[in-house]
Structure formats: C-alpha cells, structure tokens
Amino acid sequence: MARAVTQNRKIINTAAAWTVGLLIFFPILWTILTSFKTEATAIADPPVFLAFDWTLENYSVVLERSNYMRFLWNSVIIAGGSTILGIIIAVPAAWSMAFVPGKRTKDILLWMLSTKMLPAVGVLYPIYLIFIKMGLLDSRTGLVIVLMLMNLPIIVWMLYTYFREIPGEILEAARMDGAGLKEEILYVLTPMAIPGIASTLLLNFILAWNEAFWTLNLTAAKAAPLTAFIASYSSPEGLFYAKLSAASTMAIAPILILGWFSQKQLVSGLTFGAVK
C-alpha cells in the first residue's frame, strides 16, 4: 500500500513538474513558432499552432537588415567579461568572509545585497555623466564594468555560500604544509569549489546576457548587444511580430544552447549544500 502511494505521488510529482516546465517553456516555444510564420499568420485569430506554411523569410529579412554577428559578439564580450571580472574580484572577497570573518562580515554581506534593492534608474544619470566624462559611452569596457558591479553582490553571496560548505581544516592543513594565500585560494579552495564557481559563472553569464536596462541606455551603435538587437524590432506602429520573434529567437538561441548543455552543472551548483 505504502509503495502504491509512493508510486502515485511520483506520477503526480512528475506530471506537476512537466506541467510547470511546459508552462514556463511555452512562451519561448510560441516565439520560436511565430518566427517561422508570415506576419498575417502571426496575428491570426484563432492562433495557428503548427498547421501553417513555414517560412524562413523573417530570418532572411532580419539578417539582411541587421549585423547579427556584431550584436552577438558584443553580447559574448560583455556578458563573458563582466562575469569573469566579477569572479576574479569575488573569490578573494568570499574567501575572507567565509574563512576569516570579522565582526561586521554579516553586515557587509547584507549591505552588499541591499545595493540590489536600489532601482537601477535611480543611478542612471550619475553613471551616464561619469561615462561621458570617461569616454566610456557606447563602449564594451564600460558595460563590462557596470554589469560586473551590478552582479558582484550576487557572485559574492553565491561563492560565500559555497565556500562555507568547505571545511576550514582543509585550508588550515594546506597552510601548515606551507601554502601561501595565493596557493591556498588557487590550488586548494578553487578546485574544491569548482561546481559552485561553475554555477555562479553560468548564472551570472545568463543574467548579464539578458540585462536590458544598462545595455540599452549606455550603448548606441558600436557596443550594442543582443538586447538592443531585439529592441530594434519592436514597433508601436506596425505589426512586425514575426520579425520580432525571429530576432528574439536568434538572441536567445546561444544562451538556450549553453543552458541546455550545462544544466547538470547549473542544477548541481544551485543545490550545492542544500541537503546535509
């Protein structure tokens, strides 16, 4: 009897997980399907799911009109650069907080997180003016710095959580064997925290890839990433939903593929230390 209940619960859980998964995935699927429709079919009522004449015209129009590769390259540089720079800064910070905590460590951690509660638009104008003075407007360097600063609290928090799971005795043993601070972090701590660092890297890469406020406000033509590419197909006067969907599909495709191949690492990293 107990076994039957477990079996039933399993079925219910699986069905619930699939339902939630499909609900979350449906808008993405709809965007992808719409990208293969004509503009007329895209707005058809009742909506057409699969039985339509598939066309690649929207992709050809988007590729002809926009320099997709330039937007893609900018996204890779900005998301990758900000994430790596963030990790380089956050690893020593998280190490000190996890293994050599001071009286104010918890306060500092909370303060760092509180900066995420400030609406970005509140500091837009000061940052815009600083960027003008420093010649950083419409530059990838500027965006790497801003996105790194934006994601740094999350990176530090995540790494701090992972580092706390590593027994301090191991690091102590390394120190007793003559390891300096650099060796301790690089050769002892980092390899042990690889799943956590990998998931932090991935999550922050995704966050930086999808970031649309700063990337739209601080770029023009040269450093504009894929978020600006999508925005260029949105129109209040004209139905270009199929083309917008094609642009969106092209923008999310790289991150979807990356997420698909690294889902194991993402899940293991995010659940790291969750079950004791």
Partner 1 sequence: MSLRNSICAATALAMATATSAFAETTITIATVNNGDMIRMQGLADEFTASHPDIKLEWVTLEENVLRQRVTQDIAAKGGQFDVMTIGTYEVPIWGAQDWLVSLNDLPAAWDADDILPAIRDGLTVEGELYAAPFYGESSMVMYRKDLMEKAGLEMPEAPTWDQIKDAAAAMTDKDNEVYGICLRGKAGWGENMALLTAMGNSFGARTFDESWTAQYDSEEWATTVNFYVDLLNGYGPPGASTNGFNENLSLFQQGKCGMWIDATVAASFVTNPKDSTVADQVGFALAPDNGLGKRGNWLWAWSLAIPAGSDATEEAKEFITWATSKEYTALVASKEGWANVPPGTRSSLYQNTEYAKVPFAAMTLNSINAADPTDPAVEPVPYTGVQFVAIPEWAGIGTQVGQEISAALAGQQSVEEALEKAQALTTDEMEAAGY
**Residue 178 sits in the site that holds partner 1 (CB under 8 A):** no
Rule CB under 8 A: is residue 45 a binding residue for partner 1?
yes
Stretch that binds partner 1, among 26-34, 35-43, 84-92, 145-153 (CB under 8 A): 35-43
Between 231 and 258, name the residue whose CB sits nearer to partner 1. Answer: 231
Give yes or no for residue 221 binding partner 1 (CB under 8 A): yes
DSSP state letters, 195-234: HHHHHHHHHHHHHHHH--HHHHHS-SSSS--HHHHHHTT-
Q: In this complex, which beta carbon is closest to partner 1, that of residue 74 or of residue 204? A: 74
User: Judged by CB under 8 A, which of 7, 13, 115, 235 binds partner 1?
Assistant: 235
How many residues touch partner 1 (CB under 8 A)? 32
Instruction: Indicate the residue among 71 and 205 with the shorter CB distance to partner 1.
Output: 71
**Quick check: 216 binds partner 1 (CB under 8 A)?**
yes
Q: Which is nearer to partner 1, 1 or 121 (CB)?
A: 121
The single residue among 105, 139, 210, 232 that binds partner 1, judged by CB under 8 A, is 232
Select from 38-46, 103-111, 161-169, 170-178 the region that touches partner 1 (CB under 8 A). 38-46
Q: Smallest distance from the beta carbon of 227 to partner 1, in angstroms?
A: 11
Determine the interface stretch with partner 1 among 12-20, 73-81, 237-245, 261-269 (rule: CB under 8 A). 237-245
Q: Looking at 161-169, 194-202, 233-241, 265-273, which segment touches partner 1 (CB under 8 A)?
A: 233-241
CA dist 163 and 156 (Å) reads: 10
> Minimum distance between the CB of residue 74 and partner 1, rounded to whole angstroms?
13
Phi then psi for residue 160, to 5 deg, are -60, -45
Binding to partner 1 in span 91-150, by CB under 8 A: 124-125, 128-129, 131-132, 137-138
- Establish if 65 lies at the interface with partner 1 (CB under 8 A): yes
DSSP letter string, the chain:
-HHHHHHHHHHHHHHHHHHHHHHHHHHHHHHHHHTTS-HHHHT-SSPPSS-S----HHHHHHHHHS-HHHHHHHHHHHHHHHHHHHHHHHHHHHHHHHHS--TTHHHHHHHHHHGGGS-GGGGHHHHHHHHHHHT-TT-HHHHHHHHHHHHHHHHHHHHHHHHHTS-HHHHHHHHHTT--HHHIIIIIIHHHTHHHHHHHHHHHHHHHHH--HHHHHS-SSSS--HHHHHHTT--SSS--HHHHHHHHHHHHHHHHHHHHHTHHHHHHHHTTTT--
Binding site for partner 1 (CB under 8 A): 38-40, 43-45, 65, 124-125, 128-129, 131-132, 137-138, 216-217, 220-222, 224, 228, 231-240
